[in-house]
Structures are given as structure tokens and as C-alpha cells.
Structure 1
Amino acid sequence: MKAFDLHRMALDKAPLEFLGEVALRSLYTFILVFIFLKLTGRRGVRQMSLFEVLIILTLGSAAGDVAFYDDVPMVPVFVVFVTLALLYRLAMWLMAHSEKMEDLLEGKPRNIIEEGELAWEKLKHENMTEFEFFMELRLRGVEHLGQVRLAILETNGQISVYFYPDEEVRPGLSILPSYCRERFVVIPEAGYYACMNCSEVMEFSAGDRKPCPRCNHHAWVKASTATRVT
């Protein structure tokens, strides 16, 4: 084998004319994917559920193989696309007629904030970091959790947020970046403080040094009472 053989590096053993076949195969798979998305509805191009991601990944694997490999026939791939389309339609029908099937394939929405505090027991089962979660809330104009009456993690990964009216905003954990929040183990002055770990809000006197009764964490930040600016 010759080192730095440009033809081998670019095409291996395939002739130059094979590039035209790759272009044709790519057009073929593009059309099949387009037809699949049209048949399954516009949900296919929005935020996807876990089940929809599974379908698309399977679809992409079949499309990639037939586009690049000369020994992969095109008709069986068409059968794969038809099978997936029928499977998707069947799954949609089953979910429309069975709540248990819908929960199995799509998952359930989960409350992640309730009455200004993290729904701790529910949130810790979700595969979402604090950075991602707080970023999503900040993008919706949330400064601290006390502004939020209810936040729901939807099955497609989006977060639905329902706010308190300004006059009902309560003290809450600030979700600004960490450099904007000073942490305390010993409370410097009387007031409301929020647990850095679970968002529990408590009223303290100056000099208090107590763990969080909810999660036993020792770091606190001053609870914010800022109202939303619209």
C-alpha cells in the first residue's frame, strides 16, 4: 500500500464514476425521508419525543447506509421506510386509545417547580443538569424561583412556566449565574435565605448556622423578591 495515495484516501477502491451513484442514492434517501415526514405530520420537524428520536435515528441509519455503500440495495431500504411509517402511525393510534401506551412511548410531563420551590423528589429523577434547567428558565425571563407558581417539564424536553402575579411573588432562590450569588454558611444578617441545593426558603437571624431541613445542605443565598419586568 502506498502512503499518501490521494486516490485511495479519497475514494478507496471505488471508481470516480461512483460519486454520481452516491448523488443519486442521496437524492433517493432525501425523497424517502421527506415523504416520511410528510406522512407522519409536522411534529416530525419540531421538538421530538424519545419515541420520535428513536424513529428518526433508525431512519437515518438506513438512509446513510444506502447513500454511501455500493453493496446496499435500494429496495429493502424502501421497505424499511414503509415499515417505520406504518409503525409510527400504529404507535400514534395506540397512544390515542391507551394512556398507558402513551406514557410508555412518550413519557409523562413532570412538575419541576411547585409554589416557588423545586419539586425535589420529581426533579432528581430527570436527566437534566442545574445549568440546563436554570438556563431554560432565564430564557423565559425568570430571575428567581419565587416568581414561578408552576413549571412543567414536557415530554419533548421543553419547559412550560406559569408565573405568580407580581403582588403574589414570594422569596425564592435566585437562578442567576453563580458569580452573581454570594453563598453563606453563617447567615450575615436577618432575612429570608434559599438553599443552594434544593431551593428551600427559610427565615434566619444574623449568626444562624443551620443545615437545610429538606436536603441537609449547608450553603445558603439571600432569597430574592424581585418582580418580573415585562
Structure 2
Amino acid sequence: MSGGGTEVVPLDLARMFLGDFSPLFLAEIALRTVLIFGWLLLLLRWMGKRGLAQLSPLELAIVIGLGSAAGDPMFYPEVPLAHAMLVLALVVGMQRLLAWLVIRSEVVETFVEGAPVELVRDGVMSLAALERSNLSREDLFERLRVAGVRQLGEVQRAYFEQDGNLSVFVCPQDAPPGLPVVPPWDLEPPPLVTGKGCESLACLGCGTVRRGEGQLPSPCPHCGGTAWTPATTDPLGGGAGRGGESRLGLGGALGGSPGTAPG
């Protein structure tokens, strides 16, 4: 029996492929598929790289589109096979077209895939870039800790990549002091400096390091913050100084390869 109470005739090829619709209805399905796929792609781009994890907007749109189009005709006799086959072919065709355009057009690639965002330069965070990437300071610190970073002075560059991963380039030699990212601040907040006596201070807002010079350099010249903590070369003690580059995503490290920061 079908959902409307009408008896279903098994192996009725006309019903299986076209249902009770006019063949012209296939043109409407094609238009609906193109519009919904484009709207889905726009929404996924608006959702941002953090929400997409390790899938690009185009890849996630393909997964959603193919899954939705392939599921219903497998179970519901009211859904004609020709309609689902047309939707599947259109989704794959649009993916092939967009992939071709991405290779040949920088504008299309930036729109579909996004662009890398520099989050840290020479131990100082870009608060505007973090906000634009929909990341909090704690999100950045978590990813840096997974990469083995203990304090921001070790980081020459950190890029939030198009696929939602973080690429970290650290100092190849002994790192200058910086804002500690370990232990996690939720477990052990960094001490606030309220008086004199610290040689190097790190801004709690962006990580800018300034010498104490007998007084607190408030406000921070980079972000305007007024909270400072002692800058350190190794908050956990022991030797510091590493070289290399690593890439990690929301789930953890994805591997690493040697490298140095660009000039």
C-alpha cells in the first residue's frame, strides 16, 4: 500500500520511474535542485570554517545533497526513480562544474573555499582575525597546545586554513618570552601583574610583550587591554625551542612537516 491508501502494483516501471507526474515535471525538479543546492552552499559558507570542521562547503553540500536525494527513492514507492536520478546527476554535475571553476578562477575559489586567515604574527594574536574566523582565544590556545606550543612567543605565524585546520610555524631556535597558553586558563588562570618587578610582561588580551621598565605599560599598544601577566619562555619548566610546522583540526593533530615562517 502507498501512503495515500492506493494499492501499489509491484514492478510497475512507469510508476517506478515517472510516478503520476508529467515528464515536464523533470524540468521543475532540475530548477528546484539548482536553487536549493546554491542556497545550501551559501548557508554553509556563512556558517564558517569552524562549523565545517575538515570538509569544505562544497564537499559538505555534496554529502547533504547526495544523501537526501538517494535516500527517499530507496524506501518510498511514491518517489519516482527518474526524479531521484535526475537530482543525483545534477548535484554531481554542479560539483564537477564548480571544481573546474575553482581550479581556473581565484575569485570562485575564494568564494567557495574561503581564504586562509592569519591569527598570530610574532607571538601577537589578531583579535579581529579571531572574530572574523568565529574563534575564541580559548579555541586558539587549545589548538596551539595540541601543536605543542607552550607560550605565544614560540609562534612566528599561525594560519586558519581554508579547510578549518590550523597551521603553526614556530621559532626554529630559542623562542622569546610570550603569553603562556599552558596550563589551560580554565584550570589555572595566569597571574595578574599589579605592581613593579617583572622584566617582561604579556598582555592578556592579545599577547603583546613589553618590558616592565619599572611600571606597567597600560594600556596595551596593540589592543588597548589593561591586564598583564609575566611573560615566560616555558611556563612548565625545562628546555624550550623547537622548529617546524604542524597542521591540526578540530579533532587533533593531522601531522607535521618541517618549515619556517615566511618573511
- Would you say same fold, with TM above 0.5? yes
CA distance in 2 between counterparts of 1:75 and 1:228 reads 62
Q: Residue 166 of structure 1: CA displacement?
A: 2.5
* 205-214 vs 108-117, greater mean Cα deviation: 205-214
Q: Residue 122 of structure 1: CA displacement?
A: 2.5
1:208 matched to which residue of 2? 216
CA distance in 1 between counterparts of 2:120 and 2:213 reads 27
Q: Indicate whether 1:76 and 2:105 are aligned.
A: no
Match of 2:151 among 129, 136, 144: 144
8 Å CA contact retained: 1:181, 1:221: no
CA distance in 1 between counterparts of 2:104 and 2:180 reads 42
CA distance in 1 between counterparts of 2:188 and 2:242 reads 19
Query: Helix, strand or coil: the match of 1:112?
Result: strand
2:117 matched to which residue of 1? 110
1:223 matched to which residue of 2? 231
CA distance in 2 between counterparts of 1:212 and 1:128 reads 21
TM-score, normalized by length of structure 1?
Answer: 0.71
2:10 matched to which residue of 1? none
CA distance in 1 between counterparts of 2:95 and 2:173 reads 44
Match of 1:99 among 97, 100, 106: 106
Query: Helix, strand or coil: the match of 2:210?
Result: strand
**Amino acid in structure 2 at the alignment position of 1:174:** P
CA distance in 2 between counterparts of 1:229 and 1:99 reads 35
Q: Residue 194 of structure 1: CA displacement?
A: 1.3
TM-score, normalized by length of structure 2?
Answer: 0.63
2:7 matched to which residue of 1? none
Query: Helix, strand or coil: the match of 2:132?
Result: coil
Match of 1:198 among 201, 206, 210: 206
Greater relative CO (CA pairs within 8 A, separation 6+): 2
Match of 1:121 among 128, 140, 146: 128
CA distance in 2 between counterparts of 1:120 and 1:49 reads 24
State how 1:30-179 maps to structure 2 within 5 Å. 47-67=54-74, 69-167=76-174, 169-176=175-182, 177-178=184-185, 179=187
8 Å CA contact retained: 2:173, 2:242: no
- In structure 2, runs of 5+ residues without a counterpart are 5-52, 235-239, 244-263
Q: Residue 55 of structure 1: CA displacement?
A: 2.3
* 145-154 vs 52-61, greater mean Cα deviation: 52-61
Quick one: percent identity of the two aligned structures? 32
Query: Helix, strand or coil: the match of 1:124?
Result: helix
**Structure 1 or 2: more helix by fraction:** 1
1:8 matched to which residue of 2? none
CA distance in 1 between counterparts of 2:75 and 2:134 reads 35
Report the CA distance shift for 1:213/1:73 in structure 2 as closer, same or farther (over 3 A). Answer: same
Report the CA distance shift for 1:69/1:215 in structure 2 as closer, same or farther (over 3 A). Answer: farther
Report the CA distance shift for 1:66/1:188 in structure 2 as closer, same or farther (over 3 A). Answer: farther
- In structure 1, runs of 5+ residues without a counterpart are 1-12, 15-45
**Amino acid in structure 1 at the alignment position of 2:179:** L
CA distance in 2 between counterparts of 1:221 and 1:71 reads 66
Report the CA distance shift for 1:229/1:114 in structure 2 as closer, same or farther (over 3 A). Answer: closer
Q: Residue 79 of structure 1: CA displacement?
A: 1.7
